[in-house]
Amino acid sequence: MIQQFLTEYNLEGLAIGLATFLIIGIFHPLVIKGEYYMGQKCNWLFLLGGIATLILSLCTSGTLSILFGVTSFSCFWSILEVKEQRERVRKGWFPGNPKRKEE
C-alpha cells in the first residue's frame, strides 16, 4: 500500500532523500561516540559495515539497494570523519576521553 502510494504520486525520490538525510544524520553521533570510546580503532567497524552494506546493495534491487548504497558510503566517509574528529578533539572543540590512552 505504501509502495503503491509512493509510486502513484512519484514520492519515491522524496522518500529516498529523507532516508538519506536520516542515515547521514545517524552517522554524525556515531563518529563522535566511536572516536570518544574507541579512537581510531572504530575505523575497522566503519570499514566492515561499509563492505557489508555494499555487498547488500549489490544483492538487492530498487529502493532497498539505494539505501544500502547510501549507508555503505556513509560508513566509508565516516572513516575520514573519525580522523577529522580526532583533530577536533585535539583542538579542544570536543571533549577527549580521559580514560583512553593517547594513540
Residue 5, domain member (yes or no): no
pLDDT digits (tens, 9 = 90+) for 6-39: 667 778 888 899 999 999 999 999 999 999 999 8
| Number of structural domains the chain divides into | 1
pLDDT bucket at 102, cuts 50 / 70 / 90: low
pLDDT bucket at 88, cuts 50 / 70 / 90: very high
Q: Which pLDDT score is estimated for 20?
A: 96
Residue 31, domain member (yes or no): yes
**Cα 68 from Cα 61, distance rounded (Å):** 10
Domain assignment of residue 59, given as a range: 21-90
Residue 16, domain member (yes or no): no
Residue 29, domain member (yes or no): yes
**Cα 27 from Cα 90, distance rounded (Å):** 21
